[in-house]
Amino acid sequence: MVSILALSVKACRLCQIPPFVAARHLPPARGKSFLKGRALGSPRKVHLFAKASPFGRGGCECSEQTERASPLKARVPALFPDIAGAFSVLLGCARSGGCVIIGQSIFERRCSCLRFLHLSDLHLGKRVCEFSMLEDQRYILEEILTLLDETPVDGVLLAGDLYDKPVPPAEAVRLLDWFLTQLVARKLPVFAISGNHDSADRVAFGSALLADSQVYVSPVFTGAPQPIPLQDAHGTVDVYLLPFLKPAMVRHVWPDEPIESYNDALACVLRHCTPDPGHRSVLVAHQFVAGAAACESEEPSVGGVDSVDAALFDAFDYVALGHLHSPQKVGRETLRYCGTPLKYSFSEAGQHKSATFVELGAKSEVHITTAPLTPRHELRGLRGSYMELTDRSRYEGTAVDDYLHITLTDEQDVPDALARLRVIYPNLMQLDYDNQRTRQQQEICAPERTESISPLEHLAAFYQLQNNQPLTAEQTAFCQALIEEIWKEGDTL
């Protein structure tokens, strides 16, 4: 049996220079797709991964252990004029039968772009329709870690709502602890803030100690955020951590400032937080920016009173936003919500969740890419009659364990439909009906008909909804006479 040693070279989006080379031993079945342009390798059990990054992390991984190389030096400018040269070295490592560190004598560090992963709204511990999402959340976090192993970054931005509740369950705390530990093991700086679902005090616990491991967590708000500087070939990148703010929090710090709204509060904070124009700046924030699209799993205030103006963020090169669950830009490309890694409501069923990667080159050079995320269970809707949805030929071979919202079209209610359907669809979250009866109920209050319905019809519809029976003839005559009397009194005023 012959294995394939596959070589992949990935280029930086901005400078088009390969920042790392990866070599993997693949099983023959998967290896067939890599035959073209690649060479056969020794059928040894070895998994190699060599990479370089702006913070100097390099090394090889095998399937059993990982070692890290010393910082890479740019002192061999023309070591590999072509891919074959790099491949021959990696192939030699594979044939040696062990994990060999690829160190400074092999790769030249030529890519100068800082690269971040932007995540937000993990909502660890969340329940959707009373279904715990913890296993799904761990699954998607493992997928994100795999993505980071294949697409190296220089830092992770976590833009709030790490938990779903201010007092999260112990399992959610352990899951976040595991995820942060995995990021630290990969030598990745983490920049995290608290969101409106989090307790700022609990998230900030131990932040001074965590900073020693390059896990930077926003403190409880006491004033303008201070920059966390990073260095690369283009100079300094300042990262600012701004937790979710309410007007009362800001008034407490600056009592003499005229702060009446969320917009006033954020404007006040950013007036006291002016980025150095000579540096590139990244702001991690968790607010509702006016013009962004919300969905039903979020909690916007009535009338949008919690919205803030997008122009307040103009001084920052990239703004990593959290709070809204749909991935989207707001105005400019670099003012962006990355969205949730999982779907948390059926209003998100049509969305494609992704991880957002941000590359910072020289000043004002920002490139944004996304990578799709595939959940353990999809969240989607099904529609049809009870007989159609329980027909084996219809559901056999489909993902019946997905999280489902089923809409039955039967004219008569099906007895115990929820329990009976869960025999086939165990993760059925929501069940409702769409038939003539339900449509008539909706039409009573439909906005497009309100002007054409008479006051008596409005009253009769309301009475029936409240009492489950129509007005009698005597009641109808009394109400009609009363309405006419009221109208006459209005005409004489």
Give the closest residue to 14 by CA, choosing from 299, 249, 363, 330.
363
Q: Are 179 and 141 in contact (CB under 8 A)?
A: yes
Reading the block at residue 271, the tokens are 């007036």
Residue 68 or residue 49, greater confidence: 49
Q: Say what the pLDDT of residue 385 is.
A: 92
How confident is residue 91, by pLDDT bands cut at 50, 70 and 90?
Answer: low
Q: Say what the pLDDT of residue 90 is.
A: 52
Residue 156 or residue 413, greater confidence: 156
* pLDDT tens, position by position, 158-189: 999 999 999 999 999 999 999 999 999 999 99
Does 249 score more than 50 pLDDT?
yes
- pTM score of the predicted model: 0.68
Mean pLDDT of 198-227: 91
* 231 HSE (CA, 13 A, CB side): 1
* pLDDT tens, position by position, 356-404: 999 998 888 899 999 999 999 999 999 999 999 999 999 998 999 999 9
Residue 38 or residue 24, greater confidence: 24
Least confident segment among 34-38, 128-132, 152-156, 349-353: 34-38
Least confident segment among 57-66, 70-79, 295-304: 70-79
How confident is residue 242, by pLDDT bands cut at 50, 70 and 90?
Answer: very high
Q: Which residue has the tokens 């797709």?
A: 33
Give the closest residue to 369 by CA, choosing from 326, 333, 315.
333
The radius of gyration of the chain from alpha carbons, rounded to an integer in Å, stands at 29
Q: Taking the chain, what is the end-to-end CA distance rounded to the nearest angstrom?
A: 98
Taking the C-alpha atoms of residue 287 and residue 482, their distance in angstroms, rounded to an integer, is: 51
Does 72 score more than 90 pLDDT?
no
Q: What would you measure as the largest C-alpha separation in the chain, in angstroms? A: 102
* pLDDT tens, position by position, 39-49: 222 232 333 34
Strand 307-308, strand 288-289: pairing: parallel
Q: Say what the pLDDT of residue 18 is.
A: 43
For the chain, give the mean pLDDT. Answer: 76
Strand partners, 320: 284, 336
Q: Say what the pLDDT of residue 325 is.
A: 87
Residue 56 or residue 151, greater confidence: 151
